[in-house]
Amino acid sequence: MPDNTEPAALIRALDAVGVDFSIPEPVLRDFLGNAEFTPYPALSAGLLKLLESRMLRRPVFLDVIVFNYEHSPGEPSPRRIEDVDFGVLEGAVLEGFNNRYAEQNVSFQTVLKPLDAPQPPVQTLALVVEGTKKVENGITLVDTDNPRIEVGTKLISVPAQPNNVTVPQEIVRIGNGWRFTNGDVELSVSNGEAEAGLRPIRAGSLSEGANAWPTTVGTFSGATGADVRLQARIRVGYRPVDVKLLVHGRKGFAANTAEKARIALDPDVLLVPIEVARFFSDAIPVQQISAASQMALWDQVPIMSPTTNLKSTDGGTGELQFAERAWDHWPVPDNEGLYTHLGWVSPDSIWGKAGIRFRLVNYIDIKTDNEHAAPGPAPGVVTNATLRANNATLNDHPQHIKDKPVVKVIFMHRIAPPDAPQIGEALVGSSCIGISAGASDRFATIAHEIGHLITGSGSHSTELNNVMNDPGPGTNITDAQIALARTWAKQFADFWVH
């Protein structure tokens, strides 16, 4: 057992004897550092003593071992190594091994690696990360903060109760829907910005599991040992996230769970924080704008409604029978690399050419009167007066991020009186843009208005298909605009410092 009992050292020592984990690493570190209230430190020390000079022939999850130990007769939960019952601990490891690998070992010695056998290679499944620029110190650095992850696994047969038979895993994908029988699969995401310090909304999607589904339509069965490529989308920041494909059987995790990878946004990419506010009234709901739709627009986060996300369990055994899901929206760029949602081209698709990405960090619904959701005729009044008033309201809102600079994006049904031509406007100097959600001609409007914040002026371009054209903004940016954009984006660097 190592002299250093710090959580990180314990995790490394346990890994060396074949004990891994399936819960987020920050949670595990908290458990390992809390000997007063959890059995993790005592049982980890017990495992290192039990496996001294030996190792398991295949990894077993520590959290599963702890669960099995605490649910043994008498429900023991030791706080000191002196209180560990090594016979019970052997049984907890044996049960975790058998459930994970669909084996029926009856002796603890049979799950140990023979002393004269070479250590088997760690299972590694091919991982493809969208936007990969390079790999440094085991960390995959990407040029997008919302990469698509693709990973392969082999479907197998898993144990099923009550007769302890084995049944094949099976995945069927039709269109944007899929069904996983005798199991489930997810992409576990942990660490990253969420554990570095919270802000109103950004933490949520950086430590959540992401649903993984087949890259192609078809039927894939463990009866034939089918290989299947799975995909998911995640959000990453400058602090590496740990990503791991977790495959479930009917009870617990299956043997085809993959090793973890580490992914981070390349430091050369400048990340700009976005705060969105929807101004609406009872009569003018601006209902297309929501937290989910904005996550999809800014960060390519897929949308799935609760009615298309179902799981079925066996009423007698409690085992998972199948999981059935379908995407309401799965982000896919077009042939030109432009990603569009609700008719708006994502600003990432345009300003990403400058090495800039936009991250939704806050979303606020602000109920107001009809005039501030859609201004009426106002002869002689400045056309952006209502937008400016809404900006002031947002600045005073208790959910508004005040301690760090952000770009504010205000959605209204209409940002100006009905006879005014603009469907978007930048309040240069206020780090705010207004967007008419009721406009039919959307395309590059958001990216265009952000361009006014970047240039610090209301001027337009005459370049062919340039994003700063008016009317009809395009999707191209010039070298001069790239330089201006990168200088502008650097002002937000402090937002990501913890």
Each residue of 438-448: pLDDT tens digit? 998 899 999 99
- Across residues 69-79, what is the average pLDDT? 91
Is residue 36, in this structure, part of any structural domain at all? yes
The model carries a pTM of 0.77
pLDDT at 175 over 90: yes
pLDDT at 131 over 70: yes
The residue segments making up the domain with residue 163 are: 127-266
What pLDDT does 54 receive? 78
Based on the fold, state whether residues 277 and 262 are members of the same structural domain: no
CATH number for 486? 3.40.390.10
CATH number for 249? 2.60.40
Based on the fold, state whether residues 358 and 482 are members of the same structural domain: yes
What pLDDT does 117 receive? 44
> How does residue 1 score in pLDDT terms, banded at 50, 70 and 90?
very low
Is residue 326, in this structure, part of any structural domain at all? no
Q: Looking at 248, 266, 284, which one is the last position of a domain? A: 266
Q: Looking at 78, 111, 144, which one is the last position of a domain? A: 111
Based on the fold, state whether residues 231 and 94 are members of the same structural domain: no
In this structure, of 2-6, 11-15, 79-83, 494-498, the range with the lowest mean pLDDT score is 2-6
Based on the fold, state whether residues 472 and 347 are members of the same structural domain: yes
What pLDDT does 428 receive? 94
pLDDT at 306 over 70: yes
- Across residues 68-94, what is the average pLDDT? 92
Per residue, the 3-state secondary structure of the chain, as one string, reads CCCCCCHHHHHHHHHHCCEECCCCHHHHHHHHCCCCCCCHHHHHHHHHHHCCCCCECCCEEHHHHHHHHHCCCCCCCCCCHHHCCHHHHHHHHHHHHHHHHCCCCCCHHHHECCCCCCCCCCCCCCEEECCEEEEECCEEEECCCCCEEEEEEECCEEEECCCCEEEECEEEEECCEEEEECCEEEEEEEEHHHHCCCCCCCCHHHCCCEECEECCCEEEEHHHCCEEEEEEECCCCCCCEEEEEEEECCCCECCCCCCCEEEEECCCCEEEEEEEEEEECCCCCCCCCCHHHHHHHHHCCCECCHHHEEEEECCCCCCEEEEEEECCECCCCCCCCCCEECCEECHHHHHHHHCEEEEEEEEEEEECCHHHHCCCCCCCCCCCHHHHHHHHHHHHCCCCCCCCCCEEEEEECCCCCCCCCCCEEEECCCCEEEEECCCCCCECHHHHHHHHHHHCCCCCCCCCCECCCCCCCCCECCHHHHHHHHHHHHHHHHHHCC
What pLDDT does 102 receive? 78
What pLDDT does 255 receive? 67
Based on the fold, state whether residues 73 and 210 are members of the same structural domain: no
How many structural domains are present in the chain?
Answer: 3
- Across residues 85-103, what is the average pLDDT? 90
